[in-house]
Amino acid sequence: MVKNVTRNPKSEKLACCKPCLRASQSDRLKNKNPMKNPKVVLKILKSSRPDFSDEQMEDFINKRDNHRQLTHEQKMNIISDRMTTDNPMFSPLVKAKVSQTRKNSTKEFPKGHNHGLWKGNRCRSQVIRTRLYSSWVKPNLVRANFCCEVCSATKVTLEVHHHSVSFADSLMGILNGRILKELSDDEFEIVILDMIENHRQIVGMVVCVPCHKTIDAKRR
């Protein structure tokens, strides 16, 4: 025997219509929201802050309620004033902790062929010239005020000519019969450092490209 079941059209409609179900839930939360009950809020706060006394809890609730009544601009002004007066980054302890954390997180990157950006097909002589820029080329450009010392041209491509000893002669003297491409990474690094030290005694002349072709036959 089948029992008669009373149908509830409202529940059937809510079960098959998601927008209606969301609207019903929204209305129920607006009218019977448990978070609007002071007893429920107090119970949740006590569970999350068990170290607070009753006075501290009451003071916390009052501050929270007052803060909710402020406008967005007033809240931003309070945050701005707090960060100006009580900014944690002004504390020496916090600065030391942040500095130590950054030092610990800094990794020593691999060098040479172990580095991800290693360009193994680059000519080693070009690597030496690149390393000489900061220690020899740029100081000569600054000394000449970024001006060609032959024609006084400015705002042109400038080069530094080896006036006393050529780059090839200086390199061959350091290699002393060795082949540059057959050196290991450590030996090549020593050659670069020797070239940098050797260029401290070499006189450089700042010239533009046309003048460089004029004074140096190898550039023609």
pLDDT of 2? 47
Q: What residues have CB less than 8 Å from 160, skipping those under 6 apart?
A: 136, 137, 140, 141, 204, 205, 206, 207
137, 189 in Cβ contact below 8 A?
Answer: no
3-state secondary structure of 145: coil
| Residue indicated by tokens 């309620």 | 65
pLDDT of 184? 86
pLDDT of 206? 92
Q: What residues have CB less than 8 Å from 174, skipping those under 6 apart?
A: 191, 194, 195, 198
Cβ-based neighbour number of residue 141 at 10 Å: 16
How far out from the chain centre does Cα 144 lie?
A: 36
Cα–Cα distances in Å, from 72 out to 9, 61, 77, 150, 155? 45, 19, 9, 67, 54
Give the C-alpha separation, 32 to 25, whole Å. Answer: 10
pLDDT of 168? 83
With the C-alpha atoms ordered 132, 133, 137, 139, is the resulting torsion angle positive or negative?
negative
pLDDT of 104? 81
Each residue's pLDDT expressed in tens, for the chain with a length of 220 residues: 445 555 555 555 445 577 788 888 888 877 777 777 778 877 888 888 888 887 888 888 888 888 888 888 998 988 888 888 888 888 888 888 888 888 887 667 776 667 666 655 467 888 888 889 989 999 999 999 999 999 988 889 999 988 878 888 888 888 888 888 788 888 888 999 999 998 888 888 999 999 988 888 777 6
Q: Tell me the DSSP string of 114-152.
A: GSTT--TTS-HHHHHHHHHIIIIIHHHHHHTTSS-TTT-
Residue 161 pairs in a beta bridge with 205
Read off the DSSP letter of residue 108.
-
> Largest Cα–Cα distance of the chain, in whole Å?
117
pLDDT of 207? 92
pLDDT of 112? 64
